[in-house]
Amino acid sequence: MHMFNPPHPGEVLRDYLEGVSVTDAAIALKITRTQLSRILNAHAAITADMALRLSSLLGTSAEMWVDMQSEYELWQASQKPRPIIEPLQRHSLCT
Q: Answer yes or no: is 14 within a domain.
A: yes
What domain range is 17 assigned to? 9-77
- The neighbour count for residue 89, using CB atoms within 10 Å, is 5
pLDDT at residue 92 in the model? 62
pLDDT at residue 83 in the model? 96
The model's pLDDT over 47-91, given as tens digits with 9 standing for 90+, comes to: 999 999 999 999 999 999 999 999 999 999 999 999 999 999 876
Q: Answer yes or no: is 45 within a domain.
A: yes
Domain with 47 in it: what CATH number? 1.10.260.40
Q: Answer yes or no: is 86 within a domain.
A: no
Looking at the chain, list the stretches that DSSP marks H as alpha helix, in order from N- to C-terminal side: 9-16, 22-29, 33-40, 48-58, 62-78
Q: Which residues contact 9 (CB under 8 A, 6 or more apart)?
A: 39, 46, 65, 68, 69, 72
The helix-helix angle for 62-78 and 9-16 (nearest 10°) equals 140
Structural domain total, the chain:
1
Q: How far apart are CA 84 and CA 49, in angstroms?
A: 34
